[in-house]
Amino acid sequence: MRVLSDPQLLIFERMPRFAQRHSLNVYHTLVRTGHTDPYLLQAALLHDCGKVDEEGRTIPLIYYGLIVVLRNYAPDLYERAARHGRGLLYPFALHATHEWRSVEYAEAVGSHPAVVQILRDYAERRVTPFTAALRAADDAN
């Protein structure tokens, strides 16, 4: 059984392998915890597709540790880097806006409105049963 449509698969395949692996881990965590809704599972696979910009640029793996440290221990510095995200700071800007880009990409390839809504709610930090499950699975992976 295919979970993603061909257009959705194309945006998933643009992601670096480590990001694809993360999304697959989130998907499998949801399945293991009893979630079967196909729209939630599609959203799990697409939730980080926005970490690739329109030109195909991604966040280099080395930046992830720095992003986590700054977001947790120096959020003002993270926000400043994201706001001025040019040159070496571009990965911070890409990271800070990736959830909204994921919504835009999912919508652009014709994802079901329910998938787009889950991703939109996730980007807006709106707590719903689906976003709570997705957040828990994302945090666990």
pLDDT tens track for 28-81: 999 999 999 999 999 999 999 999 999 999 999 899 999 999 999 999 999 999
Q: Which domain holds residue 113?
A: 6-140
Identify whether 28 is part of a domain: yes
- The Cβ of residue 110 has, within 10 Å, a number of other Cβ atoms equal to 12
Does residue 87 belong to any structural domain of this protein? yes
Start-to-end Cα distance in the chain: 24
Give domain status of residue 91, yes or no. yes
Domain count, the chain: 1
Contact residues for 82 (Cβ-Cβ < 8 A; gap 6+): 89, 92, 93, 95, 96, 97
Whether 1 is covered by a domain: the verdict is no
**Do the domain assignments include residue 88?**
yes
Does residue 104 lie within any of the structural domains?
yes
Four-CA torsion 40, 30, 138, 61, nearest 10 degrees: -100
Please report whether residue 92 resides in a domain: yes
Record the pTM.
0.93
